[in-house]
Amino acid sequence: MKPYLLGITGGIGSGKSTVSKIFEVLGLKIYQSDDMAKYLMENDNKLISSIINSFGEESYIDGKINKEYISKNVFYDKEKLKTINNLVHPVVINDFKKWCLIHKNEKILIKEAALLFESKSYKELDFIIYVYAETKLRISRILKRDSHRTKDQIEHIIKSQLTDKESFEKADYILENNEKSLLLPEVIELYEKIRKKAANLY
Q: Identify how many contiguous H helices and E strands the chain contains and give both numbers.
A: 9, 7
pLDDT surpassing 60 at residue 97: yes
88 touches 76 (CB < 8 A): no
CA quadruple 48, 53, 57, 58: dihedral, nearest 10:
-90
The conformational region for residue 34 under phi > 0 = left, psi -120 to 50 = alpha, else beta, is: alpha
Segment 158-200, tens digit of pLDDT? 888 889 999 999 999 999 998 888 899 999 999 999 999 898 8
Task: Tell me how far the alpha carbon of residue 141 is from its chain's centroid.
Answer: 17
pLDDT surpassing 80 at residue 108: yes
User: Of 132, 185, 181, whose CA–CA distance to 26 is shortest?
Assistant: 185
Segment 17-66, tens digit of pLDDT? 999 999 999 999 999 999 999 999 999 999 999 999 999 999 999 999 99
User: Of 158, 161, 117, whose CA–CA distance to 140 is shortest?
Assistant: 158
Q: Which domain holds residue 59?
A: 4-199
Other Cβ atoms less than 10 A from the Cβ of 174: the count is: 14
Cα–Cα dist 165/49, whole Å: 37
Question: pTM for the full model?
Answer: 0.90
Cα–Cα dist 185/202, whole Å: 27
Segment 69-91, tens digit of pLDDT? 998 888 778 899 899 999 999 99
Cα–Cα dist 93/119, whole Å: 9
Helix, strand, or coil here: 39? Answer: helix
95 touches 33 (CB < 8 A): no
Average pLDDT of the chain, as a whole number? 92
Q: What is the CATH number of the domain that holds 188?
A: 3.40.50.300
Average pLDDT over residues 138-142: 93
pLDDT of res. 202 = 57
Number of folded domains that form the chain:
1
